[in-house]
Structure 1
């Protein structure tokens, strides 16, 4: 299931942080990206750091 932030109302800065942080972690750590050959952004960063650009 794809989670998006556009379905949330942010009534306070703390409320926004509480909703955005889990989304950001999921986007960067566990969501594969087709432009990166189905790697997550974290996997791509680790691979690039190891092998160079």
Structure 2
């Protein structure tokens, strides 16, 4: 059992998921925020697992 699984990137929204009405935040903004959290989590995970290759 792996107590420290590698973070997985968030699912990218489909272009049709955006309504195009200028929502704040837009689904694409939410995805970018999730990607930033993922990048940070992945960097921390890689620091804990130097044997892994991104």
Calculate the TM-score normalised by the size of structure 1.
0.42
Task: Identify which of structures 1 and 2 has the higher relative contact order when contacts are C-alpha pairs closer than 8 Å and 6+ apart.
Answer: 2
